[in-house]
Amino acid sequence: MLQILGRVFLTIIIPLYGGYIGTSLNTFDIYLVLAASWSLWAYGHPGPRELWQTGGWAGVFKGWLVMVLAILLVAGPAYGIGYLIRNWNTIWP
């Protein structure tokens, strides 16, 4: 449950807030690298023992790659939505 809340916070809440307060895209890129690193740690953590036993390094890498793609696919639009909320009055006068 805590990992699910962490992933929602990581992929939706933080980018949405970052877009809302107007962080630069360079800062957002650094955030994406940190989020990908965290997902590697969370996925490779000794919790999913079955994955380590059945898939080995290939299974862990594949799972990490899927999580990184999910972060990229969700965090980018969330950042854009936050940016649109911030600049709503300038876009639609």
| Confidence at 40, pLDDT banded by 50, 70, 90 | low
Around Cβ 41, how many Cβ atoms within 10 Å?
Answer: 9
The whole-angstrom separation of Cα 90 and Cα 22 is 14
Could you give the C-alpha distances from 2 to 5, 6, 9, 48, 58, in angstroms and in order?
5, 6, 10, 15, 25
pLDDT tops 80 at residue 52 = no
Quick check: 14 pLDDT over 70? yes
Q: Are 22 and 89 in contact (CB under 8 A)?
A: no
**What global pTM score does this model have?**
0.67
Predicted local distance difference test score (pLDDT) of residue 67: 76
pLDDT band at 2; cut points 50, 70, 90: low
Average confidence score pLDDT of the chain: 77
